[in-house]
Amino acid sequence: MKLTVNVDGGARGNPGPAAIGAVVQDGGGEVLEERAERIGKATNNVAEYRALLLGIERAAELGADELELVGDSELIVRQVQGRYKVKDATLRELHGEVMRALRPFDGRWSIRHVRRAENAEADSLVNAALDGDG
């Protein structure tokens, strides 16, 4: 089963209070699950990686054997694609966690970058969590 997961992470201040969100959809676009959580103080980039980890975990739990990840952080998407180097030590550790989490998908995964407007559901989950509503 192929699932699509839109992910987003954000911090108010950089670093500052941070939250992550993930929206999991089936092949027909039906939302199977929405998750958001506060993660304490973090940078935007750390939050983006943590959101990816949440999305991968939820898709695996829901039985995905193929995965399309969608995010609005060009940096993080390009790093996971292998197009950009991961220079920051903290991000290198999180990048490694993401790559390990993707192993069970045996190459049957992709990640793509979209503009924030195309990632509105995940973005609103992050903001709701930061506002205390999520």
* CATH assignment of the domain containing 67: 3.30.420.10
> Considering Cα of 131, then 132, then 133, then 134, what sign does the dihedral take?
positive
Q: For residues 21 and 6, give the distance between their C-alpha atoms in angstroms, rounded to a whole number.
A: 8
Q: Please state, rounded to an integer, the average pLDDT across all residues of the chain.
A: 97
Give residue 44's pLDDT: 97
Q: Which domain holds residue 117?
A: 2-131
**Total tally of structural domains belonging to the chain:** 1
Given a cut of 70, is residue 31 above it in pLDDT? yes
pLDDT-derived band at 127, boundaries 50, 70, 90: very high
pLDDT-based confidence at residue 133 (cuts at 50, 70, 90): low
Residue 117 per-residue DSSP state: G
Measured CA to CA, the distance from residue 122 to residue 71 in angstroms comes to 9
Query: C-alpha angle 10/11/12, rounded to 5°?
Result: 130
pLDDT digits over 35-92, tens only? 999 999 999 999 999 999 999 999 999 999 999 999 999 999 999 999 999 999 999 9
Q: Hunting for tokens 């939302």 — which residue is that?
A: 31
Mean pLDDT value of segment 96-121:
97
Q: Does position 134 have pLDDT exceeding 70, yes or no?
A: no
Q: Which helix (H) or strand (E) holds 80?
A: helix 74-81
Claim: this prediction has a pTM higher than 0.85:
yes
Question: Does 8 have pLDDT greater than 80?
Answer: yes
